[in-house]
Structure 1
Amino acid sequence: MKYRKIFFISPPFYSHFNPLLVLAKSFQAHGAEVTFGCSIEFKDKILEDNLNFYEIDISANKNTGTSEDTVQPDTERMRLEEFFESTKKGAVETLITQSHHRKADMLYNPQKLIDNIKVIDDSLDVDLYVVDILSYSVTLSLYFLGLPFVTFCPPHPNTIPRDGRYFNVPKNWPEAITVEEGDLAKLKQVSTQTQQEFTEVFNSIITKNKSIDPISNAFSLVSEIAVIYNYFDFNDNEKHEENPKELFIGNSFQAVALDEEWMKRIETDEKKIMISLGTFLSNRKDVLEKLILSARASHPDALLIVSAGSHAEALQKYSSPNTIIEGFIPQVALMQYVDTVVFHGGCNTLTEAMYHGKEMVILPFSSDQFNIAYDIEKHNLGKVLDPNNFSKEQLATALNELEEVSKDNLRYWRNVSRDRGADYAVKKILEIDSI
């Protein structure tokens, strides 16, 4: 086997930890010895899955369930509140806020990480590291130390700015999101400044090692071995014969059975609609409330299943025999039983919905969600609405027009997803012949 000892380094974000864990388990199932490095909050889950655990903190910001319930330092909580407020102002304001936050969020104590990873490498004799694309300090550390690593990209592939593109600026926008030219120019300016600042920090450290070259863009620094995308190869970009490989796996989640209690709760012949805005954006109580009322108005007989985060209690007034509102729902287990998913365009929910071939309505707020929404719209796989400006009538229309979504396209990408998954990438990287 090409790589026997593999060390995963995961950010303490629930939405990134889970797909990384599935990938780690696949490496182990194919014969590698895997150690999973992460913050202490995830230790029990890692040990439960029979992986070696190594405690390492790579971010001051954490999201170990729902973001507002996670214990955060005051500065992190303030920035979270600033982010949530920016989502109310629209796409450009949100992306600008995120760009300003990147340095504090994702460039965590690089010199300390270099020292910590050197200790890991000296003591564990690691053959290959796997790092999340958003763990920029870890990528910098591995590059500085000259250690072999694979880049895992859980969000949209355009998170990595290639071919002169701007970091954190969508290449394309879905029709529902209106962006003024002046605002877009401002976003590009902020993006350029953030990119320059990050790259300067990277190179100030890199120059201490005379055997490696400075870089031109910190956000484009990825593995020379392979980049694994938890996404679909909509643009025929895959490369798996020569390095760096670019591998599109379509999904990285583990199937979970739905328990008997939930099976009874969802027992109905009526349409089932899931509403989920993810661990961060469930903070937008106003949008959740509007979605519940709008869906209820247009589809009075449908069963609504709502993931409401910390607002579950406040939204209980809308509960009814056919409206289930919970702080947390077993989304992965539920997905195969629902008909329609109304969500924020997060990559995990997208890949789960696509794996099961579900109808989708996407309301993108931030990050890569605009790119994802554009892809779904372009390939006629779902409908897109502006989360801040949609009307009851627009949601009703979107839900009703899902009949026009290309079932052939949805079936094709569903089959691609089911044929791939984490095992597909692991076999390519370990150079295991497929059976």
Structure 2
Amino acid sequence: MKYKKIFVVSPPFYSHFNPLLVLAKSFQEQGAQVTVGCSIEFKEQILKENLAFYEIDISSNKNTGTSEDTVQPDTERMRLEEFFESTKKGAVETLITQSRHRKADMLYNPQELIDKIKTIDDSMDVDLYVVDILSYSVTLSLYFLGLPFVTFCPPHPNTIPRDGRYFNVPKSWPEAITVKEEDLKKLKQVSTQTQQEFTEVFNNIISENKSIKKIGNAFSLVSEIAVIYNYFDFNNIEKSEESPKELFIGNSFEAVALDEDWMEKIETKEQKIMISLGTFLSNRKDVLEKLILSARESHPDALLIVSAGSHAEELKKYSSPNTIIEGFIPQVALMQYVDTVVFHGGCNTLTEAMYHGKKMVILPFSSDQFNIAYDIEKNNLGRVLDPNNFSTEQLAQAFTELEESSKDNLLHWRNVSRERGADYAVKKILEIE
């Protein structure tokens, strides 16, 4: 085996850490010696999985549960508030805000990280690093030092802009999200500026090492060995035998048993609807409230299970024997028991729902969610609504259309997901001579 000692570097984001942890465990189960480098908040979880832990901070922004409850520096909290406000103004405003935040959020102390990773490499004799696509400073460090690494892409594959594409600009939009041409032009301008700024920072550092080439686009800098996508190969572009390998794994989570208390809550209900906007977007209490009331009106007898984040107490006035509202729900464990999932289009929830073949209604707010929503719509796997402008009637219609639509596509991709997973990619990488 060429890669015996593997160092997985995870950002301190709950939604990225979890799939990376599953990948790390898979490497270890296949016989590699694995260390996970992350901030101290995740130490206990890493050690619990019998993986080695190495403390390293690679981002000033953290999300270790629900974003509002995570202890943040004031500057990070202000940026989060600005982000949440932008989501109320629509897709383009949100993406522009995110693009402007990228440098502060994701280009964290690159010079310092180069020194830290050199220390790790000198002391641990690592054979292969695994780095999250959003950990740009880590990717830069590994490239600068000439160290072998694999890129892990938990969000949509278009997060890595291919030739002619813009960073943080959806390739296609779902029908429910209307975008004016002048707004799209503005978004592309901001994206181009962010891309140029990032690339300039990268190349200023790269120029200190005469043995490596400058790059054309910092957001497109990925491994020369393999890129692992926690996604589905909807466009049939996988390159599992070429270099770099492009591997679509379909899911990177582990099944969890539902406890007895929850089983008692759900077992008597024939139809179950889950509402979950993820760790960040559960901040949008107004959307959660509207979803609860609308779903309750169209499906009075169904069991609603709502993940409400820090707004749970405020929303519990809508609780009833048919409506469970909690700050945190055991989503992975619950997924196999629900019929329909109403969510924001985040990749983790998507892959969990697809693995279990669940009907989906997506309300995309930000980031890669528009690309994901478009793919689900295009492949007739779910329905898409505008989170800021949907009506009770539109949600009811989406539910009805899901009931009437063919289940064949969902069944096909459910089977693909179950055949893949982290083990699929790990085996392909460890086979490299």
Common fold by TM > 0.5: yes
Residues in 2 aligned to 1:63 and 1:403: alpha-carbon distance in whole angstroms? 36
Letter in 1 for 2:343: F
- In structure 1, the residue matched to 2:156 is 156
- In structure 2, the residue matched to 1:99 is 99
Residues in 2 aligned to 1:183 and 1:126: alpha-carbon distance in whole angstroms? 46
- In structure 1, the residue matched to 2:297 is 297
SS, match of residue 170 in structure 1: coil
- In structure 2, the residue matched to 1:186 is 186
- In structure 2, the residue matched to 1:397 is 397
Are residues 406 and 163 of structure 1, via their aligned partners in 2, closer, same or farther at CA, if it must alter by over 3 Å?
A: farther
Residues in 2 aligned to 1:432 and 1:150: alpha-carbon distance in whole angstroms? 12
- In structure 1, the residue matched to 2:413 is 413
SS, match of residue 372 in structure 2: helix
**1:38-95 CA distance string (max 9 Å, x none):** 0000000000000000000000000000000000000000000000000000000000
Pair 1:128 & 2:128 matched: yes
- Correspondence list, 1:317-332, <5 A: 317-332=317-332
Letter in 2 for 1:298: S
TM-superposed deviation, 1:271 = 1.1
SS, match of residue 162 in structure 1: coil
Pair 1:38 & 2:38 matched: yes
Residues in 1 aligned to 2:11 and 2:269: alpha-carbon distance in whole angstroms? 41
TM-superposed deviation, 1:242 = 1.7
Letter in 2 for 1:196: Q
- Correspondence list, 1:195-234, <5 A: 195-234=195-234
Letter in 2 for 1:108: Y
Residues in 1 aligned to 2:196 and 2:311: alpha-carbon distance in whole angstroms? 39
SS, match of residue 314 in structure 2: coil
TM-superposed deviation, 1:387 = 0.1
SS, match of residue 313 in structure 1: helix
- In structure 1, the residue matched to 2:288 is 288
- Correspondence list, 1:26-65, <5 A: 26-65=26-65
Residues in 2 aligned to 1:88 and 1:287: alpha-carbon distance in whole angstroms? 10
SS, match of residue 251 in structure 2: coil
- In structure 1, the residue matched to 2:241 is 241
Pair 1:276 & 2:301 matched: no
TM-superposed deviation, 1:405 = 3.1
TM-superposed deviation, 1:163 = 1.7
Q: Which moved more, 1:409-418 or 1:424-433?
A: 424-433
Letter in 1 for 2:175: E
**1:229-270 CA distance string (max 9 Å, x none):** 000000001001121000000000010000000000011242
Are residues 432 and 261 of structure 1, via their aligned partners in 2, closer, same or farther at CA, if it must alter by over 3 Å?
A: farther
Letter in 2 for 1:37: G
Residues in 2 aligned to 1:105 and 1:404: alpha-carbon distance in whole angstroms? 43
What are the ranges of 5 or more consecutive residues in structure 2 without an aligned counterpart? none
Letter in 2 for 1:177: I
Residues 228 and 248 of structure 2 are in contact (CA less than 8 Å); yes or no, is this contact kept in structure 1?
yes
TM-superposed deviation, 1:97 = 0.1
TM-superposed deviation, 1:2 = 1.6
Q: Percent identity of the aligned residues?
A: 88
SS, match of residue 131 in structure 1: strand
Report the number of matched residues. 433
Residues in 1 aligned to 2:365 and 2:269: alpha-carbon distance in whole angstroms? 32
- In structure 1, the residue matched to 2:72 is 72
User: In angstroms, what is the RMSD of aligned CA positions?
Assistant: 0.8
- In structure 1, the residue matched to 2:145 is 145
Letter in 1 for 2:270: E
Residues in 1 aligned to 2:388 and 2:295: alpha-carbon distance in whole angstroms? 16
Residues in 2 aligned to 1:193 and 1:85: alpha-carbon distance in whole angstroms? 22
- Correspondence list, 1:2-13, <5 A: 2-13=2-13
Q: TM-score, normalising length from structure 2?
A: 0.99
- Correspondence list, 1:341-352, <5 A: 341-352=341-352
Letter in 2 for 1:366: S
- In structure 1, the residue matched to 2:169 is 169
**1:331-370 CA distance string (max 9 Å, x none):** 0000000000000000000000000000000000000000
Q: TM-score, normalising length from structure 1?
A: 0.99
TM-superposed deviation, 1:404 = 3.4
Residues 7 and 129 of structure 2 are in contact (CA less than 8 Å); yes or no, is this contact kept in structure 1?
yes
Letter in 2 for 1:261: D
Residues in 1 aligned to 2:102 and 2:245: alpha-carbon distance in whole angstroms? 27
